[in-house]
């Protein structure tokens, strides 16, 4: 950090770029519980309005065959190797 000389208060603080947003997808089938953290960009493109909204989604298929999943935004390392088998 360079000293800024603008006084003790700064309105803007340089931060690292925001970490990429992932889609946290959790199977809603009882007793399945599979979940995965997916990188939505290769799946749905970079435009976030093309991503599935938070909440119930039927755009994913779990390895158990269920198509009902709960989607939410999350931050973290994408987990492609999850055995869940989301499509």
Establish if 27 lies at the interface with Zn ion (CB under 5 A).
yes
Nearer to Zn ion, 32 or 78 (CB): 32
Establish if 28 lies at the interface with Zn ion (CB under 5 A).
no
Q: With CA atoms as reference, report the closest residue to 38 among 20, 17, 58, 57.
A: 20
Q: What's the CA gap between 31 and 11, in Å, rounded?
A: 49
Q: Which one among 37, 41, 43, 66 touches Zn ion, defined by CB under 5 A?
A: 66
Q: What's the CA gap between 55 and 75, in Å, rounded?
A: 16
The contact set with Zn ion (CB under 5 A) reads 27, 29, 32, 34, 62, 64, 66
């Amino acid at each position: 950090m360079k000293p800024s000389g603008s006084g003790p208060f700064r309105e803007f603080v340089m931060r690292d770029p925001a970490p990429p947003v992932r889609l946290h997808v959790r199977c809603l089938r009882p007793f399945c519980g599979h979940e995965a953290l997916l990188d939505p960009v290769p799946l749905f493109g970079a435009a976030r309005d093309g991503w599935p909204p938070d909440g119930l989604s039927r755009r994913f298929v779990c390895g158990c065959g269920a198509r009902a999943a709960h989607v939410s935004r999350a931050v973290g390392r994408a987990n492609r190797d999850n055995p869940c088998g989301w499509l």
